[in-house]
Structure 1
């Protein structure tokens, strides 16, 4: 079986935009990196059931110069039925581009989170895949104590909870925001949770069976286990555990977080310590660190499972390589089986399709 994955990148050095690659499940090898479409820093991607790619995009209009004052960022919509993929729509705002995008298939909505401008934007998917903005929020009035938080709101994630609300993780404010979401794509506030100053939350995953959520904290290199009360729409803190050893004193930023389908294991990437931390989750959702494994490169932002979670693909942005692991479903632990597969400035790993 061949599985395909879309790859989002920075385009600061050698990358030209969006790529895809193949995973041969039988040979357990990554292969055939291919250019998909040109885009400016498509650092995060999502793909819809209609086979459209929603890619973060950034543009510097040549007639306005190259400074940040003239930058425009937003989304590029790509028809994934051809190579190169065809651009069918763009949505750009003044300022730096968002850092996260995802698709709500049920309500045909697209969500973006913009770390730099502080905006959460909701779009409705219109006929032929065009996007129409339905709402946006910018939460102000609070900031954390660290240098990365000095200018306030930095939402790094916006996606659905298992019960259909929108959850926003704000690194700049050390907060989780929760909103009700209407069918028309309108937001109404429900609650917010305040972490301790400097916690720096980044991404979140939910285990609805245990009633918990797991939050990766970039600035403090921690994982927070949160109780999630879906009836009233509130979070409470259950546990905090480090993603790195106490002996590591250099810079580190926790990044992506993933959960195994059975809810038994949580995985977090470390940028600086350059590893994937593997945690075992007990019946109540509390975590125990069971493995730290090298990503065989520098600055791993994202990683993802293959279709049956028997393997994991990690990307190292600064060393332009992908690393492949075999995953033991019983123990949760990873074993490196391939490294040095060339991927330029890789950031995001997005499952695309299976070719039988």
Structure 2
């Protein structure tokens, strides 16, 4: 069986934009990398069920940076460019789609702004709301120049959650059908934790929050009725005796909600955690990324494989996954993918 994935990239070296990558599940191999959409630093991409692709975009206008989203129609290859939503300043760091309310979210790490867009009938966007994070920044050098929202996506109960690495804060917003945001609560992480991404275990009513700067996971109880997070426990994603730089990156939860995976940039690995009966985590394995600076990774359709991209070494790694033990086994390495950042299954 052939499965297809979108790959978001930086374009500092050889990459030219958004790529498609195939996984042949019978041959157990990655193949047929293809440039499908030209864009500047499309580090994250999200596809709607209508096969519109929303890609981060960075360009210049009169010698000044402009950034935002580029909208593609994925019905043909290369993708047809439909629209650009760019404003003065750096590009966002994350994009996600809300199918039920036909909304798109971005988090701008550089400007501290979370933006909500409304999807129009033709798939293009109009701005529905923005919020500017203005809280106190954390103690790490990477935090001290301001708020840095790195993630904005839905909770299981359809609120919007945003992880602010700069403030060590997770923001929770109520979200209207029109895309208007109302702040519900804030959760303060440990100083210097640097929250980056979050996933939710609906069986256990907990969330798993990855901290880039602290190289850790915080297990949070999520009270949906109150709209609040509370800390349960914190674990490391790397050995405690690792003293060289590391930044935890992506976090994924298996669909059976039994295993959590985290990529580490520096220690260059994927850490595997088992979900215990109470929702807490136990580290059960670490496997090398087979490259430098692993960013995102993702499951294939039946979660028997994981695809990971290493940004600095321009390669992708394929692992098989044992659903019972949760552990990964290297299948393929050194498949060329330029400056890979994001891995997203094609819908």
- The question of a shared fold, defined as TM-score above 0.5 by the shorter chain, is answered with yes
CA shift, 1:77, in A, is: 0.3
What's 1:347 paired with? 341
Q: Distance in 2 between matches of 1:141 and 1:123?
A: 23
Q: Distance in 2 between matches of 1:310 and 1:200?
A: 31
Q: Match for 1:122 among 90, 96, 116?
A: 116
Q: Distance in 2 between matches of 1:31 and 1:39?
A: 22
Whether 2:331 is the aligned partner of 1:337: answer yes
Moved over 6 A (4+): none
Q: Distance in 2 between matches of 1:321 and 1:339?
A: 7
What are the residue-to-residue correspondences of 1:155-170 with 2, within 5 Å? Answer: 155-170=149-164
Q: Match for 2:261 among 247, 251, 267?
A: 267
What's 2:29 paired with? 29
What's 1:82 paired with? 76
Cα shift readout 1:227-247 (whole Å, capped 9, x = no counterpart): 000011000000100000122
What's 2:299 paired with? 305
* SS of residue in 2 equivalent to 1:113: strand
Cα shift readout 1:4-25 (whole Å, capped 9, x = no counterpart): 0000000000000000010001
What's 1:188 paired with? 182
Whether 2:44 is the aligned partner of 1:50: answer no
Q: What TM-score comes out, normalization by structure 2 length? A: 0.99
Cα shift readout 1:146-198 (whole Å, capped 9, x = no counterpart): 11111221000000100010001000000000010001100011100111211
- Unaligned 5+ segments in structure 1 are none
* SS of residue in 1 equivalent to 2:179: coil
CA shift, 1:141, in A, is: 3.0
Q: Distance in 1 between matches of 2:151 and 2:277?
A: 27
What are the residue-to-residue correspondences of 1:61-100 with 2, within 5 Å? Answer: 61=61, 64-65=62-63, 70-100=64-94
- Unaligned 5+ segments in structure 2 are none
Q: Distance in 2 between matches of 1:276 and 1:269?
A: 4
What are the residue-to-residue correspondences of 1:242-321 with 2, within 5 Å? Answer: 242-321=236-315
Cα shift readout 1:109-131 (whole Å, capped 9, x = no counterpart): 00000000000000000121120
What's 1:325 paired with? 319
Q: Match for 1:173 among 167, 170, 180?
A: 167
Cα shift readout 1:315-355 (whole Å, capped 9, x = no counterpart): 000000000000000000000000000000011001004xx
Whether 2:4 is the aligned partner of 1:10: answer no
* SS of residue in 1 equivalent to 2:122: helix
